Amino acid sequence: MSDSHHASAEAGRLTLAAIRAAEARIRGSIHRTPVLTSATLDEFARARLFLKCEHLQKGGAFKARGATNAVFSLAEDVARRGVVTHSSGNHAAALARAARLRGVPAYVVMPRGALAVKRDAAVRYGGELIECEPTLAAREATAAQVLERTGATLVHPYDDLRVMAGQGTTALELLDDLPDLDAILCPVGGGGQLSGIAVAAKSLKPSIRIVGVEPAAADDAARSLAAGRILPAGDPRTIADGLRTTLGTRPFAEIRAHVDAIVTVEEASIVAAMRLLWSVTKAVVEPSGAVAFAAVLEGRHAPFGERLAIVLSGGNFDPAAFDWSGRSLA
């Protein structure tokens, strides 16, 4: 490790070197996801769209990247004691899967009321499920109890440099496939994915624009970026269940340094984006995964260029149980 890289890591900042190391570490354990194009969607958008299909990732979401990097970064004696997380869904399943690949235990704290399709995935991958009350305080307290009992290692869903580095590998793939992109639009909840993508993309191509997208009903990232400090999410009421989290400290540092804008979208636009993705491309994308495309439907992308990568970050939801009116907050 160079002195400069070591200093950056010590300061708790993400580096391109860490993201490249993550790419090498996880290459055999995840999909290099395809990029989908559609002339029909281009006409809707009046732009060239390149859909990065993370809904086709292992476990059905981008979370496989960060969780796998975190688990395989651990020293053998540490990994043997297992890993713990608290998550409402996709990260829980991703961590359970990564732990199974490494042959170590995974303890997954999930709030009661988490979507069944996400809870079931975590169990299917071999995670030991521990339920708690649906508050962040309860999640953190329960995870602390599990850590005390097991001696396992906490892998936070997003406020973890190893997780952020893994998520950043999406941008390495995008710019390898499409070096002349003008912008990448990416959902933002806790900020792990947006921060990783921003560091990777801006390091490789400083002129590219990085845009975070979140529901207007959960706009803490936009408010935080404007204020220059993290403002809590409060009680966000959005169908995008994966984006109800408050920004993490480490992701926010990178978002402030590298993200050009954060835009918000309405609930009806998220549902419209899901419908259009399905009807035109046959892509089944969950609400959280569709927000970046929703920004295109609302015309929020216009300042960011002609060649736009849209991250479809996950596809884990039950279409039969979903309230397609857009009114459901479950």
Q: What is the rounded CA–CA span in Å between residue 63 and residue 75?
A: 21
The residues facing 308 across adjacent strands are: 49, 183
Q: Which amino acid is at 110?
A: M
**Which residue of the set 29, 87, 88, 195 is catalytic?**
88
Write down the H helix ranges in the chain: 3-10, 16-26, 39-45, 63-73, 76-79, 90-102, 116-124, 136-150, 161-177, 192-204, 220-227, 249-258, 267-276, 287-297
The answer to whether residue 63 is catalytic is yes
Which is nearest to 322 in space by CA: 297, 294, 298, 290?
290
Q: What is the rounded CA–CA span in Å between residue 116 and residue 136?
A: 19
Which is nearest to 92 in space by CA: 136, 69, 55, 126?
126
**Which residue of the set 29, 52, 58, 63 is catalytic?**
63
The answer to whether residue 269 is catalytic is no
Q: What is the rounded CA–CA span in Å between residue 225 and residue 261?
A: 8
Q: Reading across the β-sheet that carries 128-132, which strands appear in turn?
A: 128-132, 106-111, 83-86, 153-154
Which is nearest to 89 in space by CA: 190, 200, 228?
190
**CB crowding 20-59: b at 16 or more within 10 Å, else e:** bbbbebbeebbeebeebebeebeeebebbbbbbbbbbbbb
Which is nearest to 273 in space by CA: 283, 263, 264?
283
Tokens of 251: 């992701």
User: What are the catalytic residues?
Assistant: 63, 88
